[in-house]
Amino acid sequence: MDKKLKVDPIREGTVIDHIPANKALQVLSIIKAAQDDVVTVGINFASHKFGRKDIVKIEGRELSQKDINSIALIAPDATVIIIRDFQVINKYPVQIPDTLNGLARCANPRCITNHEEMMTRFRVQQKNPVRLRCHYCERVFDGDELELVTA
Ligand SMILES: [Zn+2]
């Protein structure tokens, strides 16, 4: 068991650690917990690395790669911890791929992707803090400036 986890151990599920302080609720909106998901949110925990951090814990669910890519936009330093049978079976930093397709809406109201039925496409220019360039209108945005496509 990882003693550094301040949250209670869970049997099965995902812990997202090292979320910047006060961003946990944004992470939650990405995860979109189902009605019967048990989710624990820790806000403003002390962290050696960041001073303060948030933690989100979802029981009984392992996040999809798409969820993790979305979380990376808001929390590029986050760590994903997969737990099975109370054991940490996988622990890795979130990673933003070089291109993001269909993950977020372009924040430029004049962008063609906001007027046609088409998938958005962003190229990641910088990973931390995240900067993305729209493939179509070429505008550059911060990771948390974009509205994520959820569903
Ligand atoms: Zn655009």
Rounded distance between C-alpha atoms, residue 138 and residue 119, angstroms: 15
The rounded Å distance from CA 72 to ligand 1 centre is: 20
The rounded Å distance from CA 130 to ligand 1 centre is: 16
Other C-beta atoms lying within 10 Å of the C-beta of residue 19: 29
Around ion ligand 1, which residues have CB less than 5 A away? 106, 108, 111, 134, 136-137
The rounded Å distance from CA 100 to ligand 1 centre is: 13
Query: Distance of CA 45 to CAs 19, 20, 101, 105, 133, Å?
Result: 10, 10, 33, 31, 33
Per-residue pLDDT reduced to its tens digit, 72-116: 988 999 999 999 999 999 999 998 889 999 989 999 999 999 999
Q: Which domains does the chain have, with CATH numbers?
A: 12-93 (3.30.70.140), 99-148 (2.30.30.20)
Per-residue pLDDT reduced to its tens digit, 24-79: 998 998 887 777 889 999 999 998 877 899 999 999 999 888 889 889 988 999 99
Question: Which amino acid would we find at residue 67?
Answer: D
48 CB-near residues (< 8 Å, 6+ apart): none
